[in-house]
Amino acid sequence: MRGFYIGRFQPYHNGHHRMVEEIATEVDELVLGIGSAGDSHSPRNPFTAGERIMMVNKAVSDFDITTYAVPIEDLDRNSVWVSHVQSMSPAFEVAYSNNPLVIQLFKEAGVEVHQSPMFNREVLEGTEVRQRMVEDRDWESLVPDEVADVVREIDGIERLQRVTATDGSERVADDEDPNPC
């Protein structure tokens, strides 16, 4: 059976990794949808789709399943998003998500959805990992070693700190662009 699991993976962290570990007990092939694939170089989405594919591919290589990382760009129309996903992905029988909108859209489209428990969500959250990266606090312990290697290879911390930087007069929220064009 083939499953589908989508996330922004900004970055791929140990919560995602635990979820893939669980999913691997239920399917023999898994498509990892790289969500919001067109977004990068912002505080909420610092890494490109290609960089996230590197993180995911290296981190899941130990699992005993075949995986395919597929970039999925966002659409303005939620009502056709599942068709968009299906048009980009190898066919799958079950979708995995804990995101209420994603679950709703798949269910309305007649796709079976499985949820997973949230693992150590107090710290295993992309927002927390990025906050620690910005503040030069320990983030490496929250991600697989392979992901930490990719972040270092691409100078990811420096990038995130730059795109988050302001002139110092105010704090920038995670989803706010401090450098609007």
Ligand X SMILES: Nc1ncnc2c1ncn2[C@@H]1O[C@H](COP(=O)(O)OP(=O)(O)OP(=O)(O)O)[C@@H](O)[C@H]1O
**CA–CA separation, 149 and 151 (whole Å):** 6
Residue 101 or residue 173: which is nearer to ligand NMN going by CB? Answer: 101
Among 26, 62, 74, 153, binds ligand NMN (CB under 6 A): 74
**CA–CA separation, 95 and 33 (whole Å):** 10
Q: Is residue 17 near ligand X by the rule CB under 6 A?
A: no
**CA atoms within 13 Å, Cβ hemisphere of 139:** 25
Evaluate whether 28 touches 21 at the Cβ level (below 8 Å).
no
Among 3, 4, 10, 31, binds ligand X (CB under 6 A): 10
Q: Which residues contact 144 (CB under 8 A, 6 or more apart)?
A: 12, 14, 17, 58, 59
Shortest Å, Cβ 156 to ligand X: 14
Among 3, 16, 95, 139, binds ligand X (CB under 6 A): 16
Q: Is residue 57 near ligand X by the rule CB under 6 A?
A: no
Binding site for ligand X (CB under 6 A): 7-10, 15-16, 19, 97-99, 116, 118-119, 121, 124-127
